[in-house]
Amino acid sequence: MENLPETCALSHPVFLRFGPPLFQRAETDGEAVMIVPLGEKTVSIPLRSLQREFAIGPNTPDGRVLSLVNASLDFVNQIRLGDPFPAEVLTGDASWDPDPVHFQIALARLRLALVAWLTSGVETATHLDQSALLALVEDPGFRPRIHEAFVRAAGELGLPGADAVVEAIEALARELAYVEALRARLLVRSQDILRKINEIQTLWRGDTSHGETLAQVQRLLIRAVRQFVSRFEEIDAQTGEVISALRNDESQRGFIRANRDWLYRCLRGWEPILDAWADTEEITDRDQWALIERTYRFLAPRYMTVKEWTSEHQPGGRKKSRPQMVW
């Protein structure tokens, strides 16, 4: 990557005219804004408007820093002058850590995929739950097959021996550990909300005043969960071709990191809702309904299908449906 500034440093006088600025995303549309004090109140100025008004071009030093600020707000809530930029925008590394178990799960998936490449009759990792997956690869009776797969893979990849394959597999697993963490923190938890909504719908059946809202929340959740499932299936399919993944490790790393960052941005958007639903077993009906309405307000602008109109005076002018996604 190019030599990028590691911290937020801006030289134009506008950034100090009203006091130290704060950069964050607007709650309304997610646009990057600068917030500055003005008397007893604060003023929010979109960065695009600020750059246009003060002629801060994208290729100027301040313009490049503001571009980093905009990108950084996908990974942190706020940026102030002097704050370090997150690793995602500087080096491509992650600024957060998965749990050790997520590395073990990723490593187990890759080992099993390698054995599946070598032999037939091995259950694929995607059809095993985590405990069964970890138990299988740690089974002493299974280890000789893993070692044989390492030896054969070394010849296929032109590596000096099994140890080199082990090292390559572990490097790939370190990247995929983030995907496994996001599978647990985003996909599993969003599926759990959908399960709870399905249960609540059964309890409120026949209540027409609440039924439509519940049905809408259910439809939007299904759409969101399907999108997450599709993303994880794509990652699993590409990295499951383990020999190809090891042969093209640089492109695979870029693919994994791009998906990792997209999923992490989704997690950051979803986290308040996920946390709110995490402990709902003992809440009152009134609080439960307030959470359902809050969930609908969160989902609707992100997953509701809207009509997109094009002018009838333009070639092919027509209307079409598309999901409206906002992060």
- CA torsion 38→39→41→42, rounded to 10°? 20
Identify the band that residue 92 occupies on the pLDDT scale cut at 50, 70 and 90. very high
- Other C-beta atoms lying within 10 Å of the C-beta of residue 208: 7
Apex CA 231: angle with CA 227 and CA 234, to 5°?
135
**Which of 293, 301, 298 lies closest to 325, judged by CA?**
301
Residue, of 316 and 14, whose pLDDT is higher: 14
Q: What is the pLDDT of residue 125?
A: 54
Domain ranges (residues) in the chain? 14-87, 104-306
Q: What is the pTM of this model?
A: 0.84
**Which pLDDT belongs to residue 19?**
81
Average pLDDT, the chain: 86
Between vectors from CA 81 to CA 78 and to CA 82, what angle results, nearest 5°? 105
Q: Is pLDDT above 60 for 7?
A: yes
Dihedral class, residue 39 (left if φ above 0, else alpha if ψ from -120 to 50, else beta)? left
Categorize the per-residue pLDDT at 127 as very low, low, confident or very high, splitting at 50, 70 and 90: low
Beta bridge partners of 22: 35, 80
pLDDT band at 285 (very low <50, low <70, confident <90, very high): confident
Percent of the chain with pLDDT over 90: 61
pLDDT at 324: 44
79-80 sheet: strands from edge to edge = 41-46, 32-38, 22-25, 79-80
3-state secondary structure of 288: helix
What is the C-alpha to C-alpha distance for residues 269 and 266, in angstroms, rounded to an integer? Answer: 5
Angle between helices 188-203 and 249-277 in degrees, nearest 10:
30
**Average pLDDT of 32-46?**
88
Beta strand residue intervals within 7-147, DSSP E: 22-25, 32-38, 41-46, 79-80
Which residue is it, tokens 């333009």? 314
Confidence label for 293 from pLDDT (cuts 50, 70 and 90): very high
Q: 132 falls in which pLDDT band (50, 70, 90)?
A: confident
Q: Which residues contact residue 177 at a Cβ distance below 8 angstroms, ignoring those fewer than 6 apart?
A: 98, 102, 103, 105, 106
* Model pLDDT, residue 310: 43
> What tens digit of pLDDT does each residue of 165-214 get?
999 999 999 999 999 999 999 999 999 999 999 988 887 666 667 778 89
